[in-house]
Amino acid sequence: MSKNLFDFGMIGLGVMGRNLLLNMADHGFSVVGFDKDKAKNSALEASATPGTTVKGVSELSQMIQLLQRPRKVMMLVPAGQPVDDVIASLLPLLEKGDVIIDGGNSHYTDTLRRVKYLRDKEIHFMGIGVSGGEQGARTGPSIMPGGDQSAYENVRPMLEAIAAKVGDTPCVAYLGKEGAGHYVKMVHNGIEYAIMQLISESYAILKYAGLSNQQLHEVFKSWNEGKLQSFLVEITADIFLQKDDKTDAHLVDVISDKAGSKGTGKWTSQDSMELPVAVPVIDTAVAMRTVSGYKDERVKASELYSSNATFSGDIDELIQQVHDALYFATILSYAQGLAMLFQASKDLNMDIPLPEVVSVWRGGCIIRSSLLEVFTSAYRQSPELSNILLNQEVASLVKSVEDNTRSLIAFAAKSGTPAAALMASLAYFDAYRSERMPTNLIQAQRDYFGAHTYQRTDIPGTFHTEWGQQ
């Protein structure tokens, strides 16, 4: 009888849910999807590859009845209350040992709560991060599972089959306990925010220097063929060629400069402060999206603080400086995100394996890049590396572009071109490599006005001074 039942169920048949199910079906798994919208059920079945086993239903109880035991059900619904509502609808229909998977962008604290709640009911719960967008879901995403490891073993063959591959290695691995999967995906998205901001600042500097969209395309295309090779650089090159279907302009030039966000970058910043771990490039990327929303104020400010500065330097030299600064800052973005995962793994008791994280990110996901091969090597040498900047090979790469990074940031400051994330990356680097920071003065100030005490460099212990009484 079990041969007539389905291997996997999906709740929510938007583009991501539909494409993941079709991907599973293409790899030999029988799948059933549920959506109240009957048109989405029909679209799922119509999109299936001939010969695969795909069914859409509009009754949740029907889907559950069609699944093999232990049942494996994934939700792809908006984060927050909708996830809890689906869980509440599922519980009367499930049995002990069944597996519920949240494949959306839930905050890890919600995942922690749900793991505990369902564990008490003997239902397995997993939070899984999925990256790669619509196309990745259909052809091979990066998958970041966490939570119940025994439940992971139930779905591992299927996830390994549908994940992106680097060589013969699937871009999926068990990434830790409790809410680890969603935590890793949150940090992935924070790094994504940072790199997108860095690319946009690089674009702004090159546009200020007078490069046309065709020239920008050629520059980014050549960069993607070298050590800046990455998905985000690749699609940026493509964007500059896209013509608007309503005018004769390039589409990028008619898109509003008010950037949207869905909250995961903000979560990364907020949670980094709770640990605490410094992620200033990610923080800055989140802040710049906020500033982009001040459009009316920015227009007025541009009139008050207008600049007549123009570019008159060597364009090829500037392009190389932008390249090197983007490479430098991209490394720093990854370094900050990975340092956050290192600390969270310990402090939140999630046991996140960093070698597996960077390996999973090598293919399928939005932040995939050639740099991840370097990081994979670094973590294989030192799995407990607290910050990749402490790896010798990474240090050599950073130092090779440091001078041009400083020159580029000085140019951006002098020309008035906004480059906050590039600047934040250099500021973090300079602070991180400083044996002694000026924060001794801050400790003195805190003790002066608030008796917060301080420690000394020469004598152990905690001290307070009655300042101003000489």
Q: Is 452 annotated as a binding residue?
A: yes
Q: Is 179 annotated as a binding residue?
A: no
CA atoms of 86 and 12, how far apart (whole Å)? 10
DSSP string, 15-62: HHHHHHHHHHHHTT--EEEE-S-HHHHHHHHHHSPTT--EEEES-HHH
Q: Is 38 a catalytic residue?
A: no
Contact of 161 with 29, CB cutoff 8 Å: yes
Which residue of the set 185, 201, 266, 356 is catalytic? 185
Angle at which helix 38-47 crosses helix 15-26, to 10 degrees, equals: 30
322 three-class SS: helix
DSSP string, 87-105: HHHHGGG--TT-EEEE-S-
CA atoms of 331 and 196, how far apart (whole Å)? 13
**Which of 411, 432, 131 is CA-nearest to residue 280?**
432
Q: Is 132 annotated as a binding residue?
A: yes
In this structure, the strands spanning 8-11 and 72-75 are parallel
CA atoms of 302 and 259, how far apart (whole Å)? 19
CA atoms of 76 and 141, how far apart (whole Å)? 15
Q: Is 27 annotated as a binding residue?
A: no
Q: Is 387 annotated as a binding residue?
A: no
Phi, psi of 145 (to 5 degrees): -85, 145
CA atoms of 172 and 174, how far apart (whole Å)? 7
Q: Is 192 a catalytic residue?
A: yes
Which residue of the set 55, 177, 178, 192 is catalytic? 192
List beta partners, residue 146: 127
Q: Is 433 annotated as a binding residue?
A: no
CA atoms of 230 and 236, how far apart (whole Å)? 10
Q: Where are the beta strands (DSSP E) in 159-222?
A: 165-166, 169-170
Enter the tokens of residue 370.
């050639």
Contact of 188 with 131, CB cutoff 8 Å: yes
Query: CA 53, 59, 65: angle at the middle one, nearest 5?
Result: 60
Q: Is 154 annotated as a binding residue?
A: no
Q: Is 23 annotated as a binding residue?
A: no
Q: Is 446 annotated as a binding residue?
A: yes
Binding residue positions for substrate: 105, 131-133, 188-189, 193, 262, 289, 446, 452
Active site residue ranges: 185, 192
Binding residue positions: 105, 131-133, 188-189, 193, 262, 289, 446, 452
